[in-house]
Structure 1
Amino acid sequence: MTINTGHHRWTRFLACLLAAALAVSPLATAQDWTGQRLPTIPDDSSSQDDVSPDDIIPQDEPDTTRDSGGGGGSDWTVPAIVAGTAATVLLVRWLRERRQAAKRPTADERDKQVNLQQQGPEFAPIYNTSAFAAIGLVQGNWPFVLDFAHDEPVIVTLRISARGVPDIYTLRFPFGAYETGHHRLQFQLPPAFGDSERPAAIAVTATDSSGKQTAPSFRVLALGCGPRAVGSVAIEEVTFLPRLIRAQAREQASYRFFSRSDFPSVMADFMRVEPAEDGERHFFVDEEPIDGGVSAGRSIEPQQWDGRDAGQRISAGTHRLKIRAWAPTRGWLTVWSDSRVDVSP
């Protein structure tokens, strides 16, 4: 199993089964990390420690709180994520509940797989980009990708809790003061995730170097799983322009993107963004399907958005574009625009 690393627009990821350390050089070449001792940060400690891969993954998350929250019952609905440290606690709690529910599959949970194949990955209508969750299909040996950027030192943690898999797989990496910028983490899921698709809860948290506070500068750019979604990030060159539109003057924003894969189903989600000291908040505004999906090696024709929500009310403020693309049995990908559009009345 290999890891690609980098510090430019299209960069890295690494093995989930064998947790690997970030390379010292930001442009290091692919390496085989099998059998090496690699740095991680245990869930019950904010200090860095060296442990063997077998000590890291798979593992159970600790019971960090007895507070309720994060979605109840056996459904797979993504909870609305609260801010700050409470968000990371809520996510861990929610993943534990999802794992328990996975031991008692119901007809509703089996229906969830069909829904994900038909409607694509799910996100909460409100989430903190430094601590958020999604629901998507996974399979053993499928590639997985997380693309992101940050302006300050950060610890990025990825957790995956899949139906029928008893452990929550956890991967954690610190990025130091000289490793800020744009990164890609890419790896292959271990065989323990099975030989057929199954729903999984996927949680991403980004904290400061102390591990105690969420990182406000963390910006997720892409998240995906499956052979059609990953090689590099299969959707790129996402544009969302201009920087300002006046909705009452009937000005419109334009967006387009390039796809390296065939995705028969694509949805454009418009998210209003609010800054916060512990990470941006994203609020769902509206969605628009891309008729006919997208074809490999092509850019879509420019699409328009009028700056209004699903109720045709003007959505004043700053917005990002979120593209969700999926194929029924070949994976899914979500990409966020780095560019933003301000909507004024």
Structure 2
Amino acid sequence: MNRIHAGHHRCSRFLACLLVGVLTAAPLASAHAGSHDDVDYYDSSQDDVDDYDGGRDDTGTTREPGGNGGSDWTVPAIVAGAAATALVVRWLRNRQQASRQQATASEDDMLARLGRQGPEFAPAYNTSAFAAVGMVRGGWPFVMDFAHERPVTVTLRLSARGLPEVYTLRIPFGAGETGRHRLQFALPPEFGDSERPAAIAVTATEPGGERPEPSFRMIALGCGPRALGSVAIEEVSFLPRLIRAQAREHASYRFFSHSDFPGAVAEFMRVEAAEDGERHFFVNEAPIAGGVTAGRSIDPRQWDGRDSGQRLSTGTHRLKIRAWAPTEGWVTAWSDSRVDVTP
């Protein structure tokens, strides 16, 4: 395990459809959703927790039991992120209750969809507590690139059907460790010798774990051989800082890829500041025909500041790039730069 420090929306078919489809044969457990003041947090001290020892250092990798009647976890269900978080919690609570035949069919459908459309994110999420679904495999590298301005505990959880436990990685960062970090590690062999879908949840809390840390921002997240190369998608540019619709100004974007990805899409997310973490809302997307080629930047492209319904999307926006190969992994990268759209 290495700890490294470095200075689609598809309208109605999204994360909800993916996870709800898995659970059609199982009773849905309730997930607590509300403000961070009344959210329950997982307490690992109540469980039998075994450490996964794979060259482990102080990053706090653990396995959390989550089967029938056993313990499970509740991540902060914070407003915009509540729906996605609740769905992942439901999957974790019920993943062993559906029949094997139905589970296999659902997983095959999900895997095919991920191969065609890439990793799935909710159309609205909170950057300090968000969920996704992506392909994983035992031995595949997993990479996270993120930054924060204050001390934080970052927790990554992955759950795949057939695994009896939730794979959990907790990393505390103290007052002298603020800034940008890149974490890279190999998934354990329990994730299997072929691709499978997994629920992925990332939370960032203050060191005590009682409140989300609003300064946390994700820069890149990926899994698989093509996700690497520093991080496979980087140098994500989104400029200028301000465009005016009346002047018919456009934002320009580009990025560099270290890997070949047959599928890629640019997504424009409206950003709202909040005390418990920045919120992102899907606005529009622009598929990148033919995908991207290793060792090249895409030619600069433009966005007119409008949403998928051709309405002007006023406010601050951030660019998100999703890129994937059907059997070689995926990566999602966010721009550091933001574009304000005004009338």
Instruction: Confirm or deny a common fold (TM above 0.5).
Output: yes
Match of 1:44 in 2: 43
Aligned match for 2:205, one of 198, 204, 207 = 207
| 1:40-88 Cα deviation digits (max 9, x unpaired) | xx94169xxx9955695322253457xxxx9xxxxxxxxxx63399789
SS in 1 for 2:108: helix
| 1:218-238 Cα deviation digits (max 9, x unpaired) | 000101000011242011111
Match of 1:235 in 2: 233
2:296 matches 1:298: yes
Contact 2:322 2:332 in 1 (8 A): yes
Q: 1:110: Cα distance to partner?
A: 1.6
2:79 matches 1:83: yes
For the residues of structure 1 that align with 2:227 and 2:247, how far apart are their CA atoms? Answer: 38
Match of 1:93 in 2: 89
Match of 1:140 in 2: 138
Aligned match for 2:154, one of 153, 156, 162 = 156
SS in 1 for 2:236: strand
Match of 1:281 in 2: 279
Match of 1:57 in 2: 62
Could you say which structure has the higher helix fraction? 2
Alignment of 1:177-326 (within 5 A): 177-326=175-324
The aligned length equals 294
Cα distance, 1:56–1:7 mapped onto 2, change above 3 Å: closer
Contact 1:84 1:278 in 2 (8 A): no
Identical positions, percent: 67
TM-score by length of 1: 0.79
2:8 matches 1:3: no
* Structure 1 unaligned residues grouped into runs of 5+: 9-41, 71-80
* Structure 2 unaligned residues grouped into runs of 5+: 8-40, 54-59
Q: 1:240: Cα distance to partner?
A: 0.1
What is the one-letter code of the residue matched to 2:290?
G
Aligned Cα root-mean-square deviation (Å): 2.6
What is the one-letter code of the residue matched to 2:121?
F
Cα distance, 1:103–1:211 mapped onto 2, change above 3 Å: farther
For the residues of structure 2 that align with 1:142 and 1:233, how far apart are their CA atoms? Answer: 14
For the residues of structure 2 that align with 1:336 and 1:122, how far apart are their CA atoms? Answer: 15
Q: Which moved more, 1:273-282 or 1:230-239?
A: 230-239
Contact 2:42 2:72 in 1 (8 A): no
Q: 1:98: Cα distance to partner?
A: 5.8
Cα distance, 1:194–1:52 mapped onto 2, change above 3 Å: closer
Match of 1:75 in 2: none
Runs of 4 or more off by more than 6 Å in structure 1?
84-89
Cα distance, 1:4–1:269 mapped onto 2, change above 3 Å: same
For the residues of structure 2 that align with 1:142 and 1:292, how far apart are their CA atoms? Answer: 25
Cα distance, 1:253–1:102 mapped onto 2, change above 3 Å: farther
Contact 2:111 2:197 in 1 (8 A): yes
For the residues of structure 1 that align with 2:217 and 2:79, how far apart are their CA atoms? Answer: 15
TM-score by length of 2: 0.79
